[in-house]
Structure 1
Amino acid sequence: MSEQTIPSLSGYEEPTLEAAFITLSEEVRTTAAETAADPEAFRLHWLGRKQGRLKLISEAWLKSAPPEAKKALGIRFNELKALVEYQLSPERLVKVPVSEPGLVSEYATQGGTIAASLQNKKHPHPLDITLPGTLRAPGIPHPLLKTMHEIVSVFHHLGYSTNLGPQVESDFYNFEALNFPENHPARDTQDTLVIANQQSRPSRDRLLMRTHTSPVQIRTMIAQAPPIRIVIPGKVHRNDAADATHSPIFHQIEGLCVDTNITFSDLKGTLDHAMKALFGSDVKTRFFPSFFPFTEPSADVQISCIFCGGKGCRKCKHSGWIELLGCGMVDPAVFAAVIAERRKINPADNTYNPEKITGFAFGMGVERIAMMLHGVSDIGHFYSGDMRFLEQFA
């Protein structure tokens, strides 16, 4: 093969280059069909080091092209080379990238090749890029993720939206704004995993691994005026020793509802509905006084034992009830912290005036609910990666 077999370019305009390379791409496919029984002959014809057609095209077109045309030529040349290499690939499932509108794009499947020019409408096999792509199922969801999605779905049906936040938080969002005093036990290093070398920072700016998803409640209220109805799923970290029911890494789902005239009755009705949606319509709920720094009044929520129907068994310690989550009305001190932050932007802001605005919050552990729903006795199974355990949920 000699350079005389390479067609000459009549110019370097876009239509001229497009037509020339479409002709060459057709030539590649024709040659591939003719040499289907001898791939080595096809390879030498196009990729030979001395007289390969691509080398001759490069010498005839690229080297003599003016500087302003070299980029467009180079892009099309690389696409042509990729098309040649595709014809030699065993899997024949390669997409030749399109770098600019109007360039030749090749898609191949095991049953044949579909070629398309994004601008040349006369091409016999146009590619419709508006069609949805092929979805690849990643497998089954992890039982913790599946449980989390089920819980979140219950609240989505009640009109709640999902908000997320960072796992590395500042002391302000994780503790201070949530009405945790400086010496509160939850700040103790036995409970909280702090980031190293934070001593030089102001107390409120020191970083730690969040111990709950409550910081997202503060971030949301600072950024958004009422009404607010959100659920906050996510991973949290505490310096807990691992045992059958505890893990230093676990998942929480918290909820926040803030508006005018929100009462404790709204909180009870919301959680009663959610528990029935999760565990069945026969489940009963009851509330016991409790304490959380960021809610007042606060309560622990128990549900009737789903294993014995409230009659009493070993799993509910023969009480007929299982403690499941905590909740309460948002403490006015939390609203005060939010107002202080919002006033840094607007000094007259009084959006979260506790005399006009009320709200409730709740939080539950995903692992605890997943263990109940699936009869799992050790929280460590969720993190072991044991396929024999995970395959049970397929």
Structure 2
Amino acid sequence: MKKIALFLLTMMICGITSAQFAGGMFGQRQEPLPEGYKPASTNTFLAQYPAVNAQTRQAIFKVVAPHADNVALDLAGKKYSMTKDEKGVWTCTSDPQVVGFHYYAILIDSVPVMDRNTNSYFGSNWQSSGIEIPEGPEGDYYRFNKDIPHGHVRSLYYWSEINGMERHCNVYVPAEYESNPDKKYPVMYLLHGWGEDENGWSNQGHMANIMDGLIHAGKAVPMIVVMDCGDIKTNSDVRKASTNDVTQIYIKDLMPFIERTFRTKNDRQNRAMAGLSRGGFQTTMTVFANLDKFAWMGTFSGFFSRPGDNITEAFNGVFKDPAAFDKQMNLLFISTGTEERTPKEAVDALKAHGIKNIVYHESQGTAHEWLTWRRALNEFAPLLFK
């Protein structure tokens, strides 16, 4: 009798557990997606929506919020009202979007929240939802290629005397790094923009896929890429750092850590720095103040100068003597999207002034967004250390 009771109890527990697992993981039977739509590559495991149509570049979003009075989608600067069905599922279809990565939020009764169906991405100073509107084969350079060797992105912490606490950085080493124990490598320091963090280039930017492809094809020399935080953070014990100038941390704390931890070439000809948006500005502030340490630099949507400014007086007069600048700086790479504020006037002024070691790049059809910066990195990295 005891064996029968134990058996029945076991079967009941298994049944409850199975039902909970099915409900929690799989939910109700999924209906087929509309023709032409596929789950977005940025979705969480098993999530059908958001669903993207690669041809029309539209996306369908669904949110389960049976007790909400109003639900809306906030995507690419536009708010879409969502429609509720009898099961409490809210739905909307977006306008055609520009290809690439876009942050978005769900507004439930005017409160912005993440969509639980997508992975989270740190942007605009909070964990955001994101969606990738896919390019065609032209986007293969930032996709994972199973047929080539891949480098590693290492997550590391280092102590910053200036910050007064530990700081986090990500470091990419090329695929050959472990198999060449006697070889030293040049280093590119790669900065994120405002409201994002040191994980942005790895997650939203697909930096490792880009570098793997360039190095394997022989377009870029094997290099180490360092991605640090562009902010000076605090904790419950450290409420204020000794300075609000993060460039001091890059020079005095980060660089020494990298050079004693990795096999690096430690001279200016083998150091580069680049950054997007605010990171581009931080690049100019760091490099122009330390021309004895860097010979290569790039700004992606981040070369900030006001129209009409005298270019010879910008950045404390670093461009005043064109010949001297070209002797010190092997490359000043300035990139932008065609749909954002352009620095072309400043670039033309620099060229007219006599600066020769300058390359200007435009990403066609993109604005202040990750596809602009993926394209910029893909053009910039092959020019380095040659």
TM-score, normalised by the number of residues in structure 2: 0.24
Identify the structure with the greater strand proportion. 2
Identify the structure with the greater helix proportion. 1
Structure showing greater radius of gyration is: 1
